[in-house]
């Protein structure tokens, strides 16, 4: 990508983070940490990678995305809103009774959501089914599924991995948001995953390791994934939980709680200041 496109993606990712904070604060509950860590990947997916149409959310030939770590839907909802699937103001109704945006993705109630998810490990199995269906139908769409690193402790993740490799699902790409923290503490202390890359390789995956906050590396990873033939791909993206909000970064306590009024204002002020810097950098880029 050129400098302008990269700068625009950074600005969009910042807006995604602002909406995450807006949604969780207004809900008075939710999961900001893992939503913020995945914000750059959500942004790249919806504004660069996925072949989708917000005006036609059920388009048969669209690429599919499954948020297997469904509790981090504030990040997905933010990206969908900015993309134009529904008004951004909907984010303020997050988790409210009767609202469009519930605490886990609902494919029947939210435009742009391809699979209801939340029970960890199950989303990737659904993604495998979608990818196999595409193969059986000779369809061109690709399927992407995002996992949490703690989610990789679930046995169903590895059942799905065996299935994906057995059926040579080269139209399937897993993304592991590897921020190192889960609800009970450090992933390495709860149930260490390493060597995660070797584990996926042994199951028959092409493995790509990147920094999940570097758009150049994100782009290279997704481009490589599309070139892989005969087997599925997993992108292991190292990220920082709570990325973008200083007091939330790498703090396990922000896995699943909402900021109070003071914390909310502090977070938005930080992100807005970051946006000013990013917009100034964009303005300096010559066409």
Instruction: Give me the DSSP letters along the chain.
Output: --HHHHHHHHHHHHHHHHHHHHHHHHHT-S-HHHHHHTHHHHHHIIIII----TT-TT-TTS-EEEESSGGGHHHHHHHHHHHTSS-GGGGGGTT-TT-SS-SS--TTTSTT--S---STTHHHHHHHHHHHHHHHTT----EEEEEETGGGGSHHHHHHHHHHHHTT-TTEEEEEEE-SEETTEEHHHHH---SHHHHHHHTT-EEEEEETT-HHHHHHHHHHHHH--SS-EEEEEE--TTTTSTTTTT-GGGSS----HHHHHHHHHHHHHHHHHHHHHHHH---
Q: How confident is the model at residue 8 (pLDDT cuts 50, 70, 90)?
A: very high
pLDDT, tens digit, 9 for 90 and up, residues 221-236: 999 999 999 999 999 9
Q: Is the pTM value of this prediction over 0.95?
A: yes
Q: Is the pLDDT assigned to residue 190 strictly greater than 90?
A: yes
What proportion of the chain, given as a percentage, has pLDDT over 70? Answer: 100
Q: What is the mean pLDDT of residues 56-65?
A: 97
Q: Is the pLDDT assigned to residue 279 strictly greater than 80?
A: yes
pLDDT, tens digit, 9 for 90 and up, residues 209-219: 999 999 999 99
Rounded mean pLDDT of the chain?
97
pLDDT confidence of residue 287: 65
pLDDT, tens digit, 9 for 90 and up, residues 94-142: 999 999 999 999 999 999 999 999 899 999 999 999 999 999 999 999 9
Candidates 177, 147, 156, 175; CA nearest to 233 is 175
CA gap 142, 50 in Å, rounded: 8
pLDDT confidence of residue 86: 98
Peptide bond into 195 cis (omega under 30): yes
Q: How confident is the model at residue 286 (pLDDT cuts 50, 70, 90)?
A: confident
What proportion of the chain, given as a percentage, has pLDDT over 90? Answer: 98
Cβ distance 73 to 101 under 8 Å? yes
Q: How confident is the model at residue 257 (pLDDT cuts 50, 70, 90)?
A: very high
CA gap 245, 233 in Å, rounded: 31
User: What sign results for the dihedral spanned by CA atoms 94, 77, 217, 47?
Assistant: negative
User: What sign results for the dihedral spanned by CA atoms 10, 15, 21, 24?
Assistant: negative
Q: How confident is the model at residue 39 (pLDDT cuts 50, 70, 90)?
A: very high
Q: What is the mean pLDDT of residues 140-145?
A: 98
pLDDT, tens digit, 9 for 90 and up, residues 169-180: 999 999 999 999
């Amino acid at each position: 990508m050129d400098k302008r496109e990269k700068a625009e993606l950074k600005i969009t990712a910042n807006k995604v983070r602002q909406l995450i904070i807006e949604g969780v604060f207004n809900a008075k509950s939710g999961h900001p940490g893992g939503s913020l860590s995945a914000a750059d990947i959500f942004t790249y997916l919806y504004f660069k990678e996925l072949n989708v149409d917000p005006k036609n959310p059920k388009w048969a030939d669209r690429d599919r995305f499954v948020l297997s770590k469904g509790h981090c839907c504030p990040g997905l909802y933010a990206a969908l809103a900015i993309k134009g699937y529904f008004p951004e103001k909907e984010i303020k109704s997050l988790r409210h009774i009767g609202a469009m945006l519930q605490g886990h993705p609902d494919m029947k109630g939210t435009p742009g959501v391809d699979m209801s998810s939340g029970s960890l490990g199950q989303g990737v199995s659904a993604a495998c089914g979608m990818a196999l269906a595409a193969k059986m139908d000779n369809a061109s769409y690709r399927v992407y599924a995002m996992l949490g690193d703690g989610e990789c402790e679930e046995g169903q993740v590895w059942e799905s991995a065996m299935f994906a490799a057995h059926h040579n699902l080269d139209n399937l790409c897993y993304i592991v948001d590897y921020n190192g923290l889960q609800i009970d503490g450090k992933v390495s202390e709860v149930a260490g995953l390493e060597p995660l890359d070797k584990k996926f390789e042994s199951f028959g995956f092409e493995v790509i390791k990147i920094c999940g906050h570097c758009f150049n590396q994100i782009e290279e990873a997704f481009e490589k994934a599309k070139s892989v033939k005969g087997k599925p791909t997993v992108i292991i993206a190292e990220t920082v939980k709570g990325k973008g909000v200083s007091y939330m970064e790498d703090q396990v306590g922000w896995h699943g709680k909402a900021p109070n009024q003071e914390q909310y204002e502090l977070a938005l002020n930080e992100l807005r200041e970051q946006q000013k810097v990013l917009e100034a950098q964009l303005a300096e880029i010559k066409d």
